[in-house]
Amino acid sequence: MVVTTRYAALRRPARASNGLLRGRQAIAQAAAQVVGQQVLANQAVAPAPVQQVQPLAGAGGDEDADWPAFLVALDARTTLLDALREHLGLTGTKKGCDQGQCGACTVLVNGRRVLSCLTLAVSVQDHSITTIEGISGPGGELHPMQQAFVEHDAFQCGYCTPGQIMSAIGCVNEGHAESDAAIREYMSGNICRCGAYPNIVAAVNQAKVSTRS
């Protein structure tokens, strides 16, 4: 079974309804949205390359956004993580455990944190998906959370960092960053094998005012 799915990725910088500032290049955007599907059962169809198709107006309810759409053929079992990394070339989102235990694959779906390794791509149709590539400003300036991670040296190897940053943005926007204890609790699903936790908490504390929508 092959599911043919249309993805839309944010192209222009725009402030979405959840208040996250999103980046500008379509494929560098990490914003993807499935907007339709066609199931071709019992056909031995080779996966088609990603195609850019006609943008959809107001996709994902983001009225200001220019949402280029992409058509990509996926096995119905494809996770959102594999769709992003292997089909859309958005490799900023990392695969750590691939079983929901490390948080390296964290992305935002409609502004809320999800583990993309546990999310089927076809289950997030008509939702806006933001990954680490999509949070920079229109001129490529770092998101406040990214800047804070740099300033507080909140990483060593950096493998967990995209997931940490996406989770931190979600944590702040959920209102769960009011204290160090709250940050530790609500970021506890993101594992850092390098043990940069104190610096991550400091970075979230610095960025939480400018990150909050």
- How far is 30 from 193, CA to CA, in rounded Å? 25
- Is residue 115 close enough to count as binding ligand FES by CB under 6 A? yes
Name the residue nearer to ligand FES (CB basis): 65 or 145.
145
- Is residue 201 close enough to count as binding ligand FES by CB under 6 A? no
What is the pattern of x (binds ligand FES, CB under 6 A) and - over residues 130-159? -------------------------xxxxx
Name the residue nearer to ligand FES (CB basis): 63 or 151.
151
Name the residue nearer to ligand FES (CB basis): 52 or 197.
197
Judged by CB under 6 A, which stretch of 1-9, 15-23, 143-151, 190-198 contacts ligand FES?
190-198
What is the pattern of x (binds ligand FES, CB under 6 A) and - over residues 87-106? --------xxxx-xxxxxx-
DSSP secondary structure of the chain: -EEEEEEE---S--B-TT--B--S-STTS-EE-EEEEEEETT--PPPPPPEEE---TTGGG-TT----EEEEEEETT-BHHHIIIIIS--TTS--SSSSSSS-TTEEEETTEEEEGGGSBGGGGBT--EE-GGG-S-TTSPPPHHHHHHHHTT--SS-TTHHHHHHHHHHHHHTT--SSHHHHHHHTTTS--TT--HHHHHHHHHHHHHHH--
Q: How far is the CB of 140 from ligand FES (least distance, A)?
A: 23
Name the residue nearer to ligand FES (CB basis): 157 or 209.
157
Q: How far is the CB of 114 from ligand FES (least distance, A)?
A: 10
Name the residue nearer to ligand FES (CB basis): 105 or 177.
105
- Is residue 165 close enough to count as binding ligand FES by CB under 6 A? no
- Is residue 194 close enough to count as binding ligand FES by CB under 6 A? yes
* Residues in contact with 129: Cβ distance below 8 Å, sequence separation at least 6, in sequence order: 30, 31, 32, 33, 80, 84, 107, 108, 109
Name the residue nearer to ligand FES (CB basis): 117 or 135.
117
Residues of this chain that interact with ligand FES (CB under 6 A) are: 95-98, 100-105, 115, 117, 155-161, 192-194, 196
